[in-house]
Structure 1
Amino acid sequence: MIDVHGLGLTNIALRDDGEGVLVASLNRPAKRNALDAQSVEELVRLFDAVPRAGIKAVVLRAEGTHFCAGLDLVEHHREDRGPAEFMLLCLRWHEAFNKMEYGGVPIIAALKGAVVGGGLELASAAHIRVADQGTYFALPEGQRGLFTGGGATIRVAALVGKARMIDMMLSGRVYQGAEAVSVGLCQYLVDGPSEDKALAIAHIAAQNPPLSNFAICSAISHVQNMSALDASYTEAVVAGIVNTQPASRERLAAFANKTAARVRPNET
């Protein structure tokens, strides 16, 4: 089993909460946690290791006042990359974010401050996003003479729709607060620190059977890429495996014996 603490990461700080949840913190606060090439490589290494490390859930957060301001534009300007070089860098972003989305371990992003450009692409690769009242979302690529390269055309467009994404890129529109929830950029908006709510969700998810979480956090994304006929077949196969696992039998027995917790409406 892999020890993620032995990966030698410097731009991402790691800590265990003692209950199977890994807290991973973007650790370049002076740069508003902008993603340079090294940070992207560390994300690849981390989320390649997470599914093989016995981790039940991940909370992705950031040091400082901002989650992530996107591509490190200072590095990009300094490196003066050519088209092929930048294409290869973008493919590493895709490698990192695909490992997050399809890795099978729940990732809950605790958002604050700027979730902008590549920072929004990073957040959209998480399975659940929690924002605080100061969180704002934007894709300012149009104003900077850029185009998204880390999967926004796939994931952000899936969250908010093509038209809204185009508007964000052309006009610089910023979403925050209840409006950000309503368009799908985040699932939760909290008054206090987003990390508290993200940890609470992670602890709930960590109690699920790992095989169930693996299916939820990988199969759904795969199914979305398929034709309806292939998706129906795949869903049936996954359900056949997951719904007959020993952990499912135990929980079904508890339900049949009326000892399992019931689903009830939220208190008002």
Structure 2
Amino acid sequence: MTKLVTYELEGKIALIGLNRPEKRNAINEDVINALREAVIRAGEEADTGILFGHGSNFCSGLDLREALSRAGAGTQPARKRKRHSWHEVFDIIARGPIPFVAALHGAVVGGGLELAMAAHIRVGDETAYFGLPEGQRGIFVGGGGTVRIQRVIGYSVMADMMLTGRILNIQEGEREHIVRYVVPAGQALEKAMELAAIIACNTYDTNWRITNLLPRINDFSHEDGLFVEYLNSNMARTAETESRLRDFVEGRAAPLLTKK
């Protein structure tokens, strides 16, 4: 049986690929379970992760056949509520132990866009397009989009996409900050690997603070944010931090990335 999610470790980088190309990498509960296993493994043995899609698309979102099976009038609800599986897995990506880069191409739609927005940096090639068709399907976003997507593109853009079914091309996606890097067709994964290699050279502690502390401070008031920043910036330095500062002061530090 073909794996729904592939996993490969290249040095310090974990490559995680959605692998239902015949279904445009649509997400069902089996995919979520496989993705959970992969991202937890990546957090344990890699310093950076990459999310990508096999075939012609990154991800077309929710598997609507599965959604239809749950929408029937005779469906028996669970006796007890539990956390949404998508929320759980996407949070492991967004606020877990390592940063993630998403390599996007083709459809990045609905739940696929929600998954992409859980990553910390997004690269899109010229074939990528973005949409939130839930309004036309009689459903609502359920993979954290109300939080992650809205915080990036704002209410007015998200409302427009959902109410009208508007599709954004790669240039519009860059304008609305969905992607930070745009590359020619077929080169998103290559660029993501380049960025992931740079990220993996940072200290683990700094990467963790950027991916876990920074978004939380964004939720704080002005004064609370500054106070938490002060607490963190004044914590004891690690030996690795001291070594890196010494390398810079003494002229041994590698030059910073300057190209787009």
Instruction: State TM-score, norm by structure 2.
Output: 0.91
Q: Counterparts of 1:239 and 1:125 in 2: how far apart (Å)?
A: 26
Corresponding residue for 1:166? 159
Please state how far the C-alpha of 1:265 moved relative to its aligned partner. Answer: 5.1
Residue of 219, 231, 241 corresponding to 2:225: 231
Q: Tell me which moved more, 148-157 or 224-233.
A: 224-233
Closer/same/farther in 2, CA of residues 236 and 49 from structure 1, 3 Å limit:
farther
* Aligned length, in residue pairs: 255
Q: Where does 1:1-268 land on structure 2 (aligned, <5 Å)?
A: 10-17=3-10, 19-51=11-43, 53-80=44-71, 82=75, 84=77, 91-191=84-184, 192-241=186-235, 244-263=237-256, 266=259
Q: Counterparts of 1:217 and 1:166 in 2: how far apart (Å)?
A: 27
Closer/same/farther in 2, CA of residues 29 and 201 from structure 1, 3 Å limit:
same
How much identity, in percent, do the aligned residues show? 35
Q: Counterparts of 1:88 and 1:220 in 2: how far apart (Å)?
A: 30
Q: Counterparts of 2:88 and 2:218 in 1: how far apart (Å)?
A: 18
Tell me, yes or no, if the aligned pair for 1:90 and 1:150 is still in contact at 8 Å: no
Q: Counterparts of 1:264 and 1:25 in 2: how far apart (Å)?
A: 27
Instruction: State TM-score, norm by structure 1.
Output: 0.88
Q: Secondary structure at the match of 1:175?
A: coil
Please state how far the C-alpha of 1:91 moved relative to its aligned partner. Answer: 1.1
Structure 2 residue identity aligned to 1:38 = D
Please state how far the C-alpha of 1:38 moved relative to its aligned partner. Answer: 1.2
RMSD: 2.2
Q: Counterparts of 2:257 and 2:9 in 1: how far apart (Å)?
A: 31
Closer/same/farther in 2, CA of residues 61 and 266 from structure 1, 3 Å limit:
closer
Please state how far the C-alpha of 1:235 moved relative to its aligned partner. Answer: 1.7
Please state how far the C-alpha of 1:264 moved relative to its aligned partner. Answer: 7.5
Tell me, yes or no, if the aligned pair for 1:60 and 1:110 is still in contact at 8 Å: yes
Tell me, yes or no, if the aligned pair for 2:16 and 2:38 is still in contact at 8 Å: no
Unmatched segments (≥5 aa) in structure 2: none
Q: Counterparts of 2:222 and 2:202 in 1: how far apart (Å)?
A: 28
Please state how far the C-alpha of 1:10 moved relative to its aligned partner. Answer: 3.1
Closer/same/farther in 2, CA of residues 170 and 89 from structure 1, 3 Å limit:
farther
Please state how far the C-alpha of 1:261 moved relative to its aligned partner. Answer: 3.1
Closer/same/farther in 2, CA of residues 265 and 66 from structure 1, 3 Å limit:
closer
Q: Counterparts of 1:68 and 1:48 in 2: how far apart (Å)?
A: 20
Runs of 4+ in 1 over 6 A off after TM superposition: none
Q: Counterparts of 2:37 and 2:222 in 1: how far apart (Å)?
A: 34
Closer/same/farther in 2, CA of residues 90 and 66 from structure 1, 3 Å limit:
farther
Q: Deviations over 1:66-121 (max 9, x none)?
A: 10000100121134365955x96871111011111110311000101000000000
Q: Counterparts of 1:40 and 1:89 in 2: how far apart (Å)?
A: 15
